Chains A and B, each alone.
Chain A
Amino acid sequence: MNKISDDILFKVEKPARYVGGELNCCYKDKESVDIRFAFCFPDVYEVGMSHLGSRILYHVLNSRVDTYCERAFAPWPDMEKQMRENNIALYALESKDSLNEFDFLGFTLQYEMSYTNILNMLDMSGITIRASRRGEDEPIVMAGGPCAYNPEPLHDIVDFFELGEGEEIMNDVLDVYKKYKGKGMKKEFLREISKIRGVYVPSLYEVSYNADNTIKEFKPKYDDVPKRVVKRFVANFNEVDFPEKMVVPYIEIVHDREILETFRGCTNGCRFCQAGMIYRPVREKTTATLVEAADKLLKSTGYREISLSSLSICDYSDIKNLIVTLIEKNKENHVSVSLPSIRIDSFSVDLINEIQKARKTGLTFAPEAGTQRMRDIINKGVTEEKILEAASSVFASGWSTIKLYFMVGLPYETMEDVRGIAELSDKVAGEYFKISKDVRKRGLKVTASSAIFVPKPFTPFQWAAQATMEDVVEKIKAVKYAITSRAVTYNYHESIVSYLEAVIARGDRRVCDVIIKAFEKGAKFDGWSEYFNFEIWQEAIKECGVDGNFYAYRERSYEEVLPWDFIDIGVNKEYLILENEKAKKAELTQNCKIECTNCGINENFKEGTCFHSALSNKV
């Protein structure tokens, strides 16, 4: 156990990040369990504690009598400095034991720019960074989460990956581990779990390359290791184990409210969106299940706000009933319901009107692109007419602040498409002035934000070249100068972070060396602009003899072996190709709620049915 002295804690910012002991956190007798698991989030406490998936898995793991799951987060650099100076190893919050005393470290991969924090967390615990050099007596390092769908850039850091939803697979892996624990048989353990559906053990596969640096072949080293790794998902999502208790932090975290997961998957089929592909099929929980879960969670957490979570909440088949039921049930309780983001249509505006009767704090819409042609290319099925109609209805209902999210640097994008961002924002602002003065609320503010598009694996745009930094700078300028309304504020991101994100997102095994090198040169908290240092990364890329542009700016051919091709997400590659071809022609694909679009998920994975538990009579 580490003694984190007050002499250290009083010197750092937000010491409550490092002390644990929150409401509902789990304490067990470490002598009476077989498996000690440290759930690691490679970012600061407030960010990590807001992540629903981690909270679910903390609960799932601790439901096992034989397992004690604790939490670890990346210490903020001020705390890291103190810990390193005082020789304190990174520890888990519950027992305060160093991470190197655990059987497993499980990292969740939510964004590429958190990877150097993983390395730093290992290093701070005295754990060997490279998996190939890590000893028998060191913990087994595993990882999961959306970024694990291209695991290769971490192939020599992580011993094994879990692909897909963790609830069941985690149990399968731990059951096997009990046989091998403490016997010095790490290799045998990894070999055995490689046969569990959803598990990928990188050390059991080898890659060869062509002269042009593309992949020649990816194959298992042994005959008994599966050629393809098939993702896992929970078939009956309505009955999946959902925590009745959640840890309630003392300090304010990013999402400080009760989170209720309504459904997984998404039917919209936006072509840029990885989540929309990898989380298929769509499966819902019933309103009855959700209302019951909400009750239990409110009771155990003491929260006064319920947030409904999913990829596109207004697409929940029974949304109106769910919201009305939750509001009615909790009227006397002073509990409010909130939606993280809403679809752009008047149905959704009516819904939010129902919820935010009093406080009209501001609404966020995501048209994603400025022109109709571009929205059709990305298959964002929304017309300008609908957007303006929704905006008008928003202003008429008493809101005066709207946020609009866009992307720049999308495939097949022209300067005209980019200027469309400015035009659409102006038009949205224009809708405000069409509303009579006595109806609209004063103080119009339209904030248009643009992110830079990063092509992601398992999307129809996985073959696309990212727009160059120079290109993006030009485009951002074009948007800035094209805005005429004084009510519109334009925010944009730096393009260099997106470049690196693109390198890592579609990187292969050779990018792993770059990440290690960058870490050695001091890279950490790369997702935080105050710590991101592009020069470090440029040097690392150069010293590793890797060409960043090869990964970010190169358009791939359909024939090329992609680093993540061995993973089967259930959606056919042919479907992604077809979608990309349709994008080129700006052709729309319908929402698969209306009619199946033959992505392959229900053919390939017989155990899962699309729209499980959803109300089918409502579209």
Chain B
Amino acid sequence: MKILKKGRVSIVRYLIKYSKDSEIKFIAHLDLMRTLQKIIKRSELPIEYSKGFNPHMAVSIAQPLSVGVHSKGEYMDIVLSCELEEKYIIDIMNENSPRGIKILDAVKVIPVEGKKKSQAMAIIDAAKYTIKLKCTKEEEVKETLQEISSTSEWNIIKKSKSGEKMINIKPLVYKFEYKVDSSILAISTLVACGSRDNLSAHLLADYMKKNIQSINKEAFVDIQREEMYATKDGKLVTLSEFLKNQ
């Protein structure tokens, strides 16, 4: 481990990009969190802990992933007590990860003078997903999708703790492309994500299931999160990029 700056000058925050592969898609958020902490512990990174009787590791996941969803673009914030080379962090964490998790990138978050840098979870605006639904009659699916695409409102009941509510999800869908091939409807979509606006990929999939007859309702819906974005100068850039060239 090569420490770039010795001594506890200040704590350093890193944004870590990682994957949650398909083989572990059924691992729930809290279990994944525990696993990430174990990876950090095994890597012997100089992780910071919260104060108090029951210290917690300074690790936070940017945006929880539902059970059953896999991802090539997950992010977490970690706080270290000294500065390390980014490549070292990536390599040592990969060495200590189980098969289903790969560390893809590490970016040092440079603190701006006099400003508390917001955590990854606060800057997310959008996420890209690939949603695969099993279907039967391909032509029928295509026709229905064309109709759906041209309507201005996609209304669906959203269930939450406070009750059920009919909402229009179309404004939350920024990009929507699809392909029907070998009895699979593959949707590639960019949707609102984060604390301001958020659309769950499952809800979008449910809308499609409800409105397209020949989608197999009993089958598993394969959802992969591809990437997460933040807005910089009016444009969406990946979280890594957002923090790299700040």
Contact = CB atoms under 8 A, between A and B. Distances in A.
Nearest to B36: A302
Interface residues of A, number: 27
Given A302-B38, A303-B38, A359 B53 contact: yes
A302 B39 contact: yes
Contacts of B54: 358-359
Interface in A107-124: none
Contacts of B8: none
A488 B219 CA distance: 51
Contact of A21 (B24, B40, B68): B24
Contacts of A302: 37-42, 96
A21 B23 contact: yes
A19 B24 contact: yes
Interface string B87-115: 00000000011111000000000000000
A528 interface: no
Contacts of A250: 24, 27, 31-32, 34-35, 98
Interface in A1-29: 5-7, 9-10, 15-16, 19, 21-25
B176 interface: no
Contacts of B174: none
B27 A251 contact: yes
A16 B26 contact: yes
Interface residues of B, number: 32
Contacts of B220: 5-7, 9-10
Contacts, number: 73
B7 to A, nearest CB: 16
B23 A19 contact: yes
Interface string B215-227: 0001110100000
Interface in B7-58: 23-28, 31-32, 34-35, 37-42, 44, 49, 53-55, 57
A302 B68 CA distance: 25
A130 interface: no
Contacts of B25: 6
Interface string A307-335: 00000000000000000000000000010
Contacts of A251: 27-28, 31
A10 B39 contact: no
Contacts of B55: 334
Contact of B26 (A5, A19, A25): A19
Contact of A358 (B37, B42, B53, B218): B53
A299 B31 contact: no
Nearest to A251: B31
A248 interface: yes
A447 interface: no
A266 B144 CA distance: 72
Nearest to A7: B220
B160 to A, nearest CB: 21
Interface of A: 5-7, 9-10, 15-16, 19, 21-25, 248, 250-252, 298-304, 334, 358-359
- Chain A to chain B: the 3 pairs with minimum beta-carbon distance, closest first: A302-B38, A358-B53, A302-B41
16 contacts: A6-B68, A7-B218, A7-B219, A9-B220, A10-B220, A16-B27, A16-B28, A21-B100, A23-B42, A250-B24, A250-B31, A251-B31, A252-B34, A300-B42, A302-B42, A358-B54
Given A21-B100, A23-B35, 9 more contacts: A6-B68, A7-B219, A19-B23, A19-B26, A250-B34, A252-B34, A301-B42, A303-B38, A303-B41
